Amino acid sequence: MKLRLFSALLLAGLLTAAAAFARQPVDELYDKAEYRIAMRDSVKLYTAVYTPKTDAKAPILIFRTPYGCAPYGPGEFPRGFGSGYMRSYIDRGYIVVMQDVRGRFMSEGEFVHVRPAGYGETDETTDSYDTVEWLVKHVPHNNGRVGFAGSSYPGFYAMMGGLCTHPAVKAVSPQAPVTDWFMGDDVRHNGVLMLTDSYRFLSGMNTPPGHTPTEKMPPMSKRTRPDEWTFFREHATLAELTELQRPNPFWEELAEHSSYDAWWQARDLRRACYNVQPAVLVVGGTFDAEDCFGAWNLYRAMVRQSPATPCHLVVGPWAHGAWRNGSGKLGAFDFGREAAWEYYMEHFELPFFDHYLKGEGAADPLPAAAVFSSGDNRWHAFDRWTPREARKLTFYLSDGGRLETRRPTAKSSASAYTSDPADPVPYIESFGERRPKEYMLADQRFVSDRSDVLTFVTEPLDGDMTLAGPVDVELEVILSTTDADFVVRLIDVFPDDDPQSGCRMLVRGDVMRGRFRDGFSRPKAFTPGVPARVPFRMTDIAHTFRAGHRVMIQVQSTWFPLAERSPQQFVDVWTCGASDFVPCKVSVLHQRSNASSVTVWRLGES
């Protein structure tokens, strides 16, 4: 009894001390030092090092970023160190390092977007190596173990840190990492320019040659006034937008690489991920509007190409970066306490770094894949992704707007619509200057009366159905022109007696440029009037359709202005004029010899 009482009092005392520590101002707990670390080519990178005011050995956690390390100057601490995500590492006594990448803010050199590994004598892996080498030799009281972390573009740099081969690097966490800007992240999806995001982001990140270190980059971001719908209707062609962007070297390079050529392939992060030495924690959100593709597909490549690497995947029902600051709510949906950032940190990221950098906690701190399914709002642990226990389930588009699991038997059957670039299908109900993150799960009823959107729906489900894995689309189509885009949306239709009566929740949607149907490096025109197969993969999902709900598939050819409009002719989209945009009649076949389908992975079915 006395031992239990002593243990309880000791625990209470420790908790009280921890709480008091957490309330202390950062400048009472940490020192700040600023360095300009010389890389192997003598270019100096600004590096801020925050060290605990103790003599205890501590690991180093590095955040490399193109977005700046403000506030600069001695004694100035980031506001985020006071609470939230970064405070978690302060309270655990980590040595925190923040670095401006080459050519941005206070660092010297030339900035190159998604600089490929092997880009000349220096690249992001060599800069990471040189930084680690300097830190472990010069920062007092480090324990010789180093990690990298970063979200979004910094997620790309975190993975580059994992590829640097320095023996002190033990763990890295690329979160929503920019992975492949042609196939699925911010800039393009399946070859289609994601118009609103790329125009704003690439202008804001424009870094002309001749960079001089500065605490504030010159303002370059372009506005879409009065709103994105009106702006992109008035500036209708990529040629016109290019003139508005000039001078913008990277945007202009996009025009020179309209297919998945060697230039793009070199910028695919996955191609460097072989024999990775540190442990890796890949993090993403199923409703991330920016880099959803990157998390799923970097993890998939890691497991395939570097099987000996301890690699973990954590994906929750999050918008971009919400695992660091989100409440568990997005749009009209509340996913509960276990979707909040505090739960994520306590159960996933902190145990990962504490184990590999401090030697604390369980020997196997995380499952191979921890994925949260929306709909039933719960976490699942898997020994791999796609889950071993999942089975393929194919939905076939059928006449009368039916969506069935039986292949169609009709000899001749099709549904048709006319896609008109002058009257595009909107991606969201109302518009502002920026793309809202909530569009990823928004109610889709706002397009219910559009004649250029085909709808196919199941009967109400008899029981719950959890889908976990990629979504593979196969459309059989006939066009009246030589090219078109194809947008497919997978939707959860709520029953009328649900609190969200009749809601059509977007579960996954994506766009595919038809000319790339035979390969993204081999654009090919359609022959008008001749059937053609258009296969493509949409990013993974984790969602439970509840009993009484229905599964809906919608097919269309514009998704504006989220995605650029196709001219619907086999012309150069970067140089064509407004007169080259023409209507196209699209027939989607659902017949015995040409069946259009969507294939998913279902849990719990043998």
Distance CA 337, CA 344 (A): 10
Q: At 460, is the pLDDT very low, low, confident or very high (cuts 50, 70, 90)?
A: very high
Helix (H, G, I), strand (E, B), or coil: what is residue 469?
strand
**Residues whose CB falls within 8 Å of the CB of residue 521, separated by 6 or more in sequence, listed in order:** 259, 260, 261
Same domain, 487 and 363: no
In a domain, 144, yes or no: yes
**Segment 216-248, tens digit of pLDDT:** 998 888 999 999 999 999 999 999 999 999 999
Distance CA 562, CA 552 (A): 21
* Contact of 288 with 177, CB cutoff 8 Å: no
In a domain, 229, yes or no: no
Helix (H, G, I), strand (E, B), or coil: what is residue 505?
strand
Number of domains the chain is built from? 2
Residue 466: closest CA among 301, 600, 318:
600
**Residues whose CB falls within 8 Å of the CB of residue 125, separated by 6 or more in sequence, listed in order:** 117, 160, 161, 163, 164, 165, 272
Bridge-partner residues for 588, per DSSP?
415, 477
Distance CA 180, CA 269 (A): 7
Instruction: List the end-to-end C-alpha distance of the chain, in Å, as a whole number.
Output: 52
In a domain, 79, yes or no: yes
Element (H, E) at 161: helix 153-162
| Phi and psi, residue 588, nearest 5° | -100, 120
* Contact of 184 with 509, CB cutoff 8 Å: no
In a domain, 142, yes or no: yes
| DSSP assignment letter at 346 | I
In a domain, 330, yes or no: yes
Query: What is the per-residue pLDDT for 21?
Result: 55
Q: At 515, is the pLDDT very low, low, confident or very high (cuts 50, 70, 90)?
A: very high
How many Cα atoms sit within 13 Å of 542 on the Cβ side?
28
pLDDT at 18 over 70: no
Helix (H, G, I), strand (E, B), or coil: what is residue 476?
strand
Same domain, 366 and 412: no
pLDDT at 5 over 80: no
pLDDT at 11 over 50: no
* Contact of 603 with 387, CB cutoff 8 Å: yes
Tell me the residue type at 212: T
**Residues whose CB falls within 8 Å of the CB of residue 218, separated by 6 or more in sequence, listed in order:** none
Tell me the residue type at 81: F
Q: What is the mean pLDDT of residues 531-548?
A: 98
Same domain, 320 and 396: no
Expressed in percent and rounded to 5, the helix, strand and coil fractions of the chain are: 25, 30, 45
Same domain, 355 and 399: no
Same domain, 286 and 428: no
Distance CA 171, CA 353 (A): 7
| Cα separation values, 2 from 5, 7, 13, 14, Å | 5, 9, 16, 18
| Cα separation values, 310 from 70, 262, 360, Å | 33, 30, 16
Q: What is the mean pLDDT of residues 533-553?
A: 98
Q: At 558, is the pLDDT very low, low, confident or very high (cuts 50, 70, 90)?
A: very high
Same domain, 541 and 399: yes
pLDDT at 576 over 70: yes
**Segment 51-75, tens digit of pLDDT:** 999 999 999 999 999 999 999 999 9
Bridge-partner residues for 400, per DSSP?
none
Distance CA 288, CA 290 (A): 6
Same domain, 467 and 417: yes
Strand 584-589, strand 597-602: pairing: unpaired
Residue 501 is part of a domain; what is its CATH number?
2.60.120.260
* Residue that terminates a domain, selected from 335, 350, 382: 382
| Cα separation values, 316 from 24, 138, 282, Å | 31, 38, 12
* Residue that terminates a domain, selected from 382, 406, 440: 382
What sign for the dihedral angle of Cα 304, 309, 315, 318? negative
* Contact of 181 with 299, CB cutoff 8 Å: no
Q: Is the peptide bond before 219 cis (omega within 30 degrees of 0)?
A: no
Query: What is the per-residue pLDDT for 519?
Result: 98
Alpha helix stretches (DSSP H) within 306-348? 322-325, 341-344
Residue 310 is part of a domain; what is its CATH number?
3.40.50.1820
pLDDT at 366 over 90: yes
Q: At 16, is the pLDDT very low, low, confident or very high (cuts 50, 70, 90)?
A: very low
- Lowest pLDDT segment from 153-162, 204-213, 334-343, 414-423: 204-213
Same domain, 104 and 127: yes
Q: What is the mean pLDDT of residues 538-546?
A: 98
Tell me the residue type at 253: E
275-294: b (≥16 Cβ within 10 Å) or e: ebbbbbbbbbbbbbbbbbbb
Same domain, 547 and 472: yes
Strand 95-100, strand 504-513: pairing: unpaired
* Residue that terminates a domain, selected from 350, 382, 414: 382
Of residues 363 and 421, more confidently modeled: 421
**Segment 117-142, tens digit of pLDDT:** 988 899 999 999 999 999 999 999 99
Strand 142-151, strand 58-65: pairing: parallel
pLDDT at 360 over 90: yes
| DSSP assignment letter at 421 | T
Q: What domain range includes position 324?
A: 26-180+268-382
Same domain, 395 and 468: yes
**Segment 248-292, tens digit of pLDDT:** 999 999 999 999 999 999 999 999 999 999 999 999 999 999 999
Same domain, 32 and 129: yes
pLDDT at 7 over 50: no
Q: What is the mean pLDDT of residues 87-102?
A: 98
> What percent of the chain stands above pLDDT 90?
93
Bridge-partner residues for 50, per DSSP?
32, 96
Same domain, 338 and 413: no
Distance CA 291, CA 155 (A): 10
| Cα separation values, 438 from 324, 434, 464, 557, Å | 17, 12, 25, 21
Helix (H, G, I), strand (E, B), or coil: what is residue 285?
strand
Bridge-partner residues for 542, per DSSP?
468
Distance CA 317, CA 339 (A): 7
Mean pLDDT of the chain: 95
Query: What is the per-residue pLDDT for 23?
Result: 72
Distance CA 600, CA 542 (A): 10
Query: What is the per-residue pLDDT for 605?
Result: 64
Query: What is the per-residue pLDDT for 2?
Result: 38
